[in-house]
């Protein structure tokens, strides 16, 4: 499906479950999440805002998503009140059969190597969206970090 068409299909309100891992293979949390995708600047961008909890504490975040028609790549900026501390992560990547995947890097501490973060958006059908994120260790090993399974509300 064309990239701009994919982004338009995300528009609406969603709810579902989010699962989080802090260590490979060790589920740390499973909780409800609500999200909304809206067009920004006449549909040039899509903003995804979400709210939920993690280990009983409120969490919220926001992504700004675009398809760069010059580089033919998806771009995503992400901020939240849990994972990203006081930073903005920028990720970039390619289309997939039912969505896109992007990769960015984030800081874990002063004088520490950056870690990677890969996010995959998959529109399973018109009413089901899966967003999966993976931590990428400095060694290159990937580990599941967050999986959100949304169902469209409207």
pLDDT at 60 (0 to 100):
95
Q: Give the predicted TM-score (pTM) of the model.
A: 0.94
Q: How far is residue 79's CA from residue 113's CA, in Å, rounded to a whole number?
A: 20
pLDDT tens string, the chain, 154 residues long: the values are: 578 889 999 999 999 999 999 988 899 999 999 999 999 999 999 999 999 999 999 999 999 999 999 999 999 999 999 876 789 999 999 999 999 999 999 998 899 999 999 999 999 999 999 999 999 999 999 999 999 999 999 8
Give the list of residues 6+ apart from residue 111 with CB closer than 8 angstroms, or none: none
pLDDT at 93 (0 to 100):
98
Q: How far is residue 76's CA from residue 59's CA, in Å, rounded to a whole number?
A: 19
How crowded is residue 48: how many other Cβ atoms within 10 Å of its Cβ? 20
Cβ 97 vs Cβ 84: under 8 Å: no
């Amino acid at each position: 499906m064309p990239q701009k068409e994919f982004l338009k299909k995300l528009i609406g309100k969603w709810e579902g479950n989010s699962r989080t891992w802090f260590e490979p293979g060790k589920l740390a949390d499973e909780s409800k999440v609500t999200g909304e995708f809206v067009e920004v600047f006449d549909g040039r961008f899509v903003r995804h805002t979400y709210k939920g909890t993690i280990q009983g504490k409120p969490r919220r975040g926001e992504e700004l998503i675009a398809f760069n028609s010059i580089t033919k790549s998806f771009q995503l900026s992400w901020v939240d009140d849990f994972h990203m501390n006081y930073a903005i992560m920028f990720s970039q990547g390619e289309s997939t059969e039912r969505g896109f995947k992007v990769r960015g890097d984030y800081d874990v501490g002063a004088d520490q190597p950056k870690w990677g973060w890969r996010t995959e958006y998959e529109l399973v059908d018109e009413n089901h969206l899966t967003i999966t994120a993976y931590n990428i260790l400095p060694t290159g090993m990937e580990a599941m970090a967050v999986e959100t399974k949304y169902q469209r509300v409207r």
